[in-house]
Chains A and B, each alone.
Chain A
Amino acid sequence: MRGVLAGLLGLAVLVALFGSHLAPHDPAAQDLALGVAGPSAAHWLGTDDLGRDVLSRLLAGAGSALLWPVLVAVGTTTLSTSLGLLAGYRLGWIDAIMMRTVDLAIAMPGMLVLIVLVGVLGGGYGWSVLAMAVLFTPGDIRVIRSLTLAQRELAYAEAARTLGLPPRRVMFRHLLPNLAPTVVSNALLSFVAALVSLAGLSFLGIGLPAGTPDWGLMVEENRDLLDLNPWASVAPVVLITLVATSATLLGDRLFDTLSKGGAR
Chain B
Amino acid sequence: MTLLDVTGLTVTGRHLVVDGVDLTVSAGETVGLVGESGSGKSLTARAVAGLLPKGMTATGSVTLSGLRLLGARERVLRSVRGSRIALLMQDPFAMLNPLITAGAHIAESLPRTGPVRRDRAWRRTEVARRLAEVGIDDPSVSGRYPFQLSGGMRQRIALAAALARDPELLIADEPTTALDATTQHEILTLLREVQRARGMGVLLITHDLRVAFEMCDRVAVMYAGRIVESGPGFDVAKVPAHPYTSGLLAALPSATVTLPRLEGIPGSVPSAGDVTGTCAFADRCSQVDADCGHARPPLREITPGRHTACLYEVRPRPRVEQPPAALREPSPGAPLLTIDDLSKRYGEHTALGGVSLSVGEGESVGVVGESGSGKTTLARCVLGLAVPDGGRIELAGLDLTRRGRRGDRAHRLVQCVFQDPSTSLNPSLTVGATLAEAAAQGTREGRLSVPELLDLVGLPASYAERRPRALSGGERQRVAIARALAVRPALLICDEPVASLDVSVQAHVLELLRTVVRDLGTSLLFITHDLAVVRQITNRTVVLLKGKIVEEGKTPQILDTPSHPYTQKLLASVPPTP
Contact = CB atoms under 8 A, between A and B. Distances in A.
A25 interface: no
Contact of A154 (B383, B408, B423): B423
A158 interface: yes
Contact of B415 (A163, A165, A166): A163
B42 to A, nearest CB: 22
Interface in B184-203: none
Interface in A122-167: 154-167
A259 to B, nearest CB: 10
Most chain-B Cβ atoms within 10 A of its Cβ — which of A156, A157, A160, A180? A156
B424 A155 contact: yes
B22 interface: no
B423 A164 contact: no
Interface string B421-438: 001111111000000011
B437 A155 contact: no
B419 A165 contact: no
A18 B209 CA distance: 70
Contact of A158 (B405, B414, B418, B441): B418
Contact of A264 (B467, B480, B487): B467
A173 B415 CA distance: 20
A164 B407 contact: yes
B411 interface: yes
B483 A155 contact: no
A263 interface: yes
A88 to B, nearest CB: 15
Given A263-B469, A264-B469, A162 B411 contact: yes
A263 B468 contact: yes
A177 interface: yes
Contacts of B217: none
A159 B467 CA distance: 17
A157 B418 CA distance: 11
A240 B405 CA distance: 49
Contacts of A262: 427-428
A261 to B, nearest CB: 9
A156 B468 CA distance: 11
B427 A178 contact: yes
Interface residues of B, number: 32
A157 B425 CA distance: 8
A162 B405 contact: no
Contacts of B414: 162
A162 B423 contact: no
B416 interface: yes
A173 B484 CA distance: 18
A174 interface: yes
B385 interface: yes
A160 B415 CA distance: 10
A51 B258 CA distance: 95
B444 to A, nearest CB: 15
Contacts, number: 73
Contact of B385 (A156, A162, A264): A162
Given A155-B424, A262-B428, A163 B467 contact: no
B410 interface: yes
Contacts of A159: 416, 418, 424, 480, 483-484
A190 B484 CA distance: 41
Interface in B52-92: none
Contacts of A155: 418-420, 423-424, 480
Contacts of B427: 156, 178, 262-264
Contacts of B410: 164
A263 B428 CA distance: 6
B428 to A, nearest CB: 4
B372 interface: no
Contacts of B416: 158-159, 162
Interface string A160-204: 111111110000011001101000000000000000000000000
B438 A263 contact: no
B384 interface: yes
Interface string B477-496: 00010011001000000000
Contacts of A178: 426-428
A263 B476 CA distance: 13
Given A154-B423, A264-B467, A177 B428 contact: yes
Contacts of B469: 263-264
Interface string B114-151: 00000000000000000000000000000000000000
Interface in A191-242: none
B426 A161 contact: no
A174 B424 CA distance: 12
A165 B418 contact: no
Most chain-A Cβ atoms within 10 A of its Cβ — which of B411, B412, B426, B467? B426
B441 A165 contact: yes
Contacts of B441: 163-165
A167 B405 CA distance: 9
B14 to A, nearest CB: 14
Interface string B385-411: 100000000000000000001011011
Contacts of B438: 163
A179 B438 CA distance: 22
A165 B482 CA distance: 17
B467 to A, nearest CB: 5
A158 B385 contact: yes
Contacts of B419: 155
Contact of A156 (B405, B408, B423): B423
Contacts of A157: 426
Most chain-A Cβ atoms within 10 A of its Cβ — which of B415, B428, B483, B487? B428
Interface in A104-118: none
Contacts of A174: 426, 429
Nearest to B408: A164
Most chain-B Cβ atoms within 10 A of its Cβ — which of A158, A161, A164, A178? A164
B426 A163 contact: no
A150 to B, nearest CB: 11
B434 to A, nearest CB: 8
A166 B407 contact: yes
A148 to B, nearest CB: 14
A97 to B, nearest CB: 18
Nearest to A158: B385
Contacts of A163: 411, 415, 437-438, 441, 483, 487
Most chain-B Cβ atoms within 10 A of its Cβ — which of A158, A162, A174, A178? A162
A263 B385 CA distance: 25
Given A156-B426, A177-B428, A262-B428, A162 B420 contact: no
Contacts of A264: 427-428, 467, 469
A156 B425 contact: yes
Given A165-B407, A174-B429, A263-B468, 7 more contacts: A156-B425, A156-B426, A159-B418, A159-B483, A160-B426, A164-B407, A164-B412
16 contacts: A156-B426, A156-B427, A158-B383, A158-B418, A159-B418, A159-B424, A160-B426, A162-B384, A162-B411, A162-B414, A163-B438, A163-B441, A164-B441, A174-B426, A177-B428, A180-B428
10 closest cross-chain pairs (CB), A and B:
A164-B411, A263-B469, A155-B418, A177-B428, A263-B427, A155-B424, A154-B423, A156-B426, A155-B423, A164-B407
